[in-house]
Structure 1
């Protein structure tokens, strides 16, 4: 079983999004065939949502049995449920609302208007994860986890030199004083993310080039959280040409 990292470079954002969306449909179909069910962890951000929108318009979309797919999120902004800032709302509008997915298969983080405090919301999502982890696991092992990467190298809501990226006991954390607004968030922790079979990091734009270069050059994951993302089977950086500016040529894969 290989868990090496691969970097796939595309000429522009559109080519990147189309390729990732096609691979997602293909791989999810493979997982359902092999395991009967697929657990997918989504991300927000411009590129992450663009991938979901591309899935929605793909001719292959309706060939997938979406009733066998469970959707989770790597992080969420602590805002009202109807807020446009919610990763969940953006994902629903881009893809999920158009799919025949049972309501119980969509595992959204709590929101500020749900009657829970931030810490209670973290505990509630941890309980939801545990209910799908079986007898021995604290969370399901995601088949595919999407991650965006910030210009500072953050993944999910795990930021450089913050407590969250160092957390190893909890599956979900409450994030306060986030360096990126809004200040309060909820996030999965690194052990949960890295228990995923496949981590797909999707990056676009020259503002991501430095973080990507550092992550691949062996930077500490506490300083560049993206450097610590590593799936059990495979870790793939899907990037456009602008984001790849600081990636050594020897690390760029010719194919998946």
Structure 2
């Protein structure tokens, strides 16, 4: 039996995309806060923090439903580079510069869970991955043993090769079943040393959103959505594993020529 299909949304530009991303994220927040005391979200880097800031820092309508409660957010990284936290390649720095530092005081500040900066210069990033997994376990498995963490929302990008997090096409890490966080020592993209959430953790989230924009993405989007089963493309594997828990927020340029049905609003 085929799994439910992901949701594909397409908008004219980043401003229109951000206007729709905002209510999606806030619905995830509000639903999470009815279940527990914090909103547990993982984010990736690239253009995502900038679009997220455009969405969440825009003026709202003043209702509780349309208000980010950042002081109740626990923010983790879907992947991170083994570099100092102030390095230009750091996803932590990117999120801090683009979003966290710009949040008005009245909205509170999120708890941002960074990697252990003491281990970014290790030859092998495995210790960095192990420590980050321990951080996840502290939040998600403090009371009883759980097989996988359950994020309320994971926000991802998609590279022109179909990679997401630091999971790359055809890579052996795509077969990892047990670890929550894995180390990458030879990334196809610099910097070579990274850590990443594993595929089972990503697909186990309650909601997953991709943000993919620009004409440079249209070829890989055709492959992800129209080419059928592809066991090598990480983004396609997320679609296959999580089905309708996945929502793609794209601009028209990124899905030009894609035949998979798409919508213009949530």
Q: TM-score, normalised by structure 2?
A: 0.85
Matches within 5 A, 1:1-256: 4-46=5-47, 48-60=48-60, 63-97=67-101, 98=103, 100-101=108-109, 105-111=111-117, 118-134=125-141, 135-217=144-226, 218-222=228-232, 224-230=233-239, 231=242, 234-249=245-260, 251-253=261-263, 255-256=265-266
Shift of 1:33: 3.4
Q: Is the 8 A contact 1:80 1:113 kept in 2?
A: no
> How far apart, CA to CA, are the structure 1 residues paired with 2:16 and 2:10?
10
Count residues with an aligned counterpart. 250
Shift of 1:12: 1.7
Shift of 1:141: 0.7
Shift of 1:219: 3.5
> How far apart, CA to CA, are the structure 1 residues paired with 2:188 and 2:132?
23
Give structure 2 stretches of 5+ with no counterpart. none
SS in 2 for 1:146: strand
Shift of 1:71: 0.5
Using a 3 Å threshold, how does the CA distance of structure 1 residues 220 and 233 change in structure 2: closer, same or farther? closer
Deviates more, 1:198-207 or 1:226-235: 226-235
> How far apart, CA to CA, are the structure 2 residues paired with 1:5 and 1:89?
31
SS in 1 for 2:76: strand
> How far apart, CA to CA, are the structure 2 residues paired with 1:247 and 1:115?
42
Q: Is the 8 A contact 2:6 2:244 kept in 1?
A: no
Using a 3 Å threshold, how does the CA distance of structure 1 residues 254 and 57 change in structure 2: closer, same or farther? closer
Shift of 1:133: 2.3
Shift of 1:114: 5.7
Give structure 1 stretches of 5+ with no counterpart. none
Deviates more, 1:50-59 or 1:117-126: 50-59
Shift of 1:64: 3.0
Q: Is the 8 A contact 2:28 2:152 kept in 1?
A: no
> How far apart, CA to CA, are the structure 1 residues paired with 2:161 and 2:39?
31
> How far apart, CA to CA, are the structure 1 residues paired with 2:27 and 2:58?
11
Shift of 1:180: 0.7
- Please tell me the root mean square deviation across aligned C-alpha atoms, in Å: 2.4
